[in-house]
Amino acid sequence: MIKSSENDEILYHIGISRKMVEGAEYAVLPGDPGRVRFLADKIGPARHLGTHREYTSYLAKLQGTPVLVSSTGMGGPSVSIGLEELARLGIKNFIRVGTTGSIQDNVELADLVINKGAVRLDGASRHYAPLEFPAVASFGLTRALIDAASELSLPYHVGISVSSDTFWPGQERYDSFTGYVPRAFQGTLEEWRILGALNYEMETATLFVAAQAMGLSAASVCGVIAKRTAGEKIAPPDVYKLASERFVDVLKLALAKLIIKKE
């Protein structure tokens, strides 16, 4: 049984309490704090709960069921901190949403990528399990995302992400300040591509491993805003907008399916 003091405790990093989330068991995790209100409003009637550091949180209602939307910032360490504290609030299911860069020719701009697993190029996940432990998504949440994308007839791909702690060297980008990529990462984009990985991003591996280690469920859906096989540039705003609209539509339908199934 949760004590009254625990219900009211404002957790140090995320700045919200168990009482404030009203029993929510699902959390949507964008990286960007600026994307939180947009996502929450799309899910349903929403209100701001708090903002502290990179963690901005809104509570939305979908078919009367509370769904928390909370940003995690960029990279694995901030994801792990958010996950630890959100779990203490009673959240059991986590869906990462965001943007990504594709590394396969057939994964086009504004397509959706639903990751079933991730290459652990991060460091934070190693604090939860050794490298031999796989970074894999939860089947139920992932199945809901796939079914939603299929039902909406949106272009989507299911596969493995490469989760890097860095945006430039770890993703073998040469348009950085120095233009230099350490030898350990030179040629890796082509290697991951040949092995069938679909995309680069920075959070999924940590989320999958930490969630599994805590007995929680996690999934990830991202919109493609860079096609690395064609160059380094980020797509223009209209592509970003379309990718965002697509992953929001999939997210909302998937959540609706999960909530109905639970009931």
pLDDT tens, position by position, 197-239: 999 999 999 999 999 999 999 999 999 999 999 988 889 999 9
Token pair for 219: 């999934």
Q: Is the pTM of this model over 0.85?
A: yes
Percent of the chain scoring above 70 in pLDDT: 98
Relative to beta strand 55-62, strand 65-70 is antiparallel
Identify the pLDDT of residue 260: 85
Active site residue 151: no
Q: Is 173 a catalytic residue?
A: yes
Q: Does the active-site annotation cover 126? A: no
| Distance (Å, whole) CA 83 – CA 90 | 11
CATH number at residue 23: 3.40.50.1580
CA 54 to each of CA 25, 38, 57, 97: distance values in angstroms, whole numbers, following the listed order: 21, 16, 10, 16
Distance CA 200, CA 30 (A): 16
Catalytic residue among 35, 120, 228, 246: 228
* pLDDT score of 129 more than 60: yes
Task: Give me the catalytic one of 13, 52, 88, 143.
Answer: 13
- Domain enclosing residue 103, as ranges: 4-262
Lowest pLDDT segment from 1-5, 208-212, 256-260: 1-5
Query: What pLDDT, on a 0 to 100 scale, did the predictor assign at position 169?
Result: 97
Quickly state the pLDDT bin for 4 (edges 50, 70, 90).
Answer: low
Of 100, 138, 33, nearest to 247 by C-alpha is 100
pLDDT at residue number 261: 77
Q: Is residue 1 over pLDDT 60?
A: no
Structure tokens at 164: 């890097």
Tell me how many domains the chain contains: 1
Query: Are the beta carbons of 204 and 220 closer than 8 angstroms?
Result: yes
Measured CA angle at 174 (ends 168, 175), to 5 deg: 85
Average pLDDT over residues 150-158: 98
What is the pLDDT, as a whole number, of residue 233? 85
User: Distance between CA 154 and CA 131 in Å, rounded?
Assistant: 34
From 54, 85, 172, 201, the catalytic residue? 85
Q: At 2, is the pLDDT very low, low, confident or very high (cuts 50, 70, 90)?
A: low
Please give the structure tokens belonging to residue 160.
């493995």
For 54-95, what is each residue's pLDDT tens digit? 999 999 999 999 999 999 999 999 999 999 999 999 999 999
pLDDT at 144 over 80: yes
Annotation says 48 is catalytic: no
What's the mean pLDDT when you consider all of the chain?
96
| pLDDT band with cut points at 50, 70 and 90 for residue 192 | very high
Average pLDDT over residues 3-29: 92
Interior/surface letters 74-112, b for 16+ CB within 10 angstroms, e for the rest: bbbbbbbbbbebbbebebebbbbbbbbbbbbeebebbbb
Q: What is the pLDDT of residues 18-61, one digit of tens each?
A: 999 999 999 999 999 999 999 999 999 999 999 999 999 999 99
Q: Is the pLDDT of residue 6 over 90?
A: no
List, in sequence order, every beta strand (DSSP E) within the chain.
Answer: 26-30, 46-52, 55-62, 65-70, 93-102, 112-121, 135-136, 156-164, 199-201, 217-227
Q: Name the pLDDT band for 3 (thresholds 50, 70, 90).
A: low
Candidates 172, 173, 201, 246; catalytic one:
173
